[in-house]
Amino acid sequence: MSTIYLHQTTTLTPEQYIAGLTDFGPGRSKLFGNSADEYLKVHQLGRTQADVTEGSGGIWERLHYDWSDPNQVVLTTTDSNLWGGASGHTYTFTRRLDGITDIDVTVVREGKNFKGHLLGFVLGSIGKGVLEKAFVNSVKAIETRYGAANEERAA
């Protein structure tokens, strides 16, 4: 099992990042490169929870999203072709006094088969940069989406 910790700071509010994270409409891959539109299937969508299958490049997982806590979003893997056990993602948001938001992400990858164990090992060692780049890109894409809103708020 691999546990990976990621961190970014952003001008986004937690609400804005959560809105991007929980936007399961077409074009999701523009915000999250590892969520190709052809894999995306929303099984259930509520006000603060969702059941979604997503993935890319032959890797998919079904995730239960819970954003009922405004300071944290928990994605729990409920099914996957590679991941099982305690796999998932936890996003934690901390608002700073200077208007910046710290986003901390914990990614847990527990392989459920040989390929999953191997990929989990790679991600936990030399592959962390791949996840880090994807996270940085998602923050930038959501900042771009909400850039006009931030400029209006600052004016």
Q: How is the chain split into domains, by residue range?
A: 2-154
User: Among all chains, which residue has been given the structure tokens 């209006």?
Assistant: 152
Tokens found for residue 57: 């490049």
Express each pLDDT in 4-26 by its tens digit.
Answer: 999 999 999 999 999 999 999 98
Is 2-154 a CATH 3.30.1130.10 domain? no
Instruction: Outline where the chain has alpha helix (H).
Output: 14-21, 28-31, 114-124, 128-154
- The helix (run of H) or strand (run of E) holding residue 132 is helix 128-154
Whole-model pTM: value is 0.92
The 10s digit of each residue's pLDDT in 62-105 is 999 999 999 999 999 999 999 999 999 999 999 999 999 999 99
pLDDT of residue 117: 93
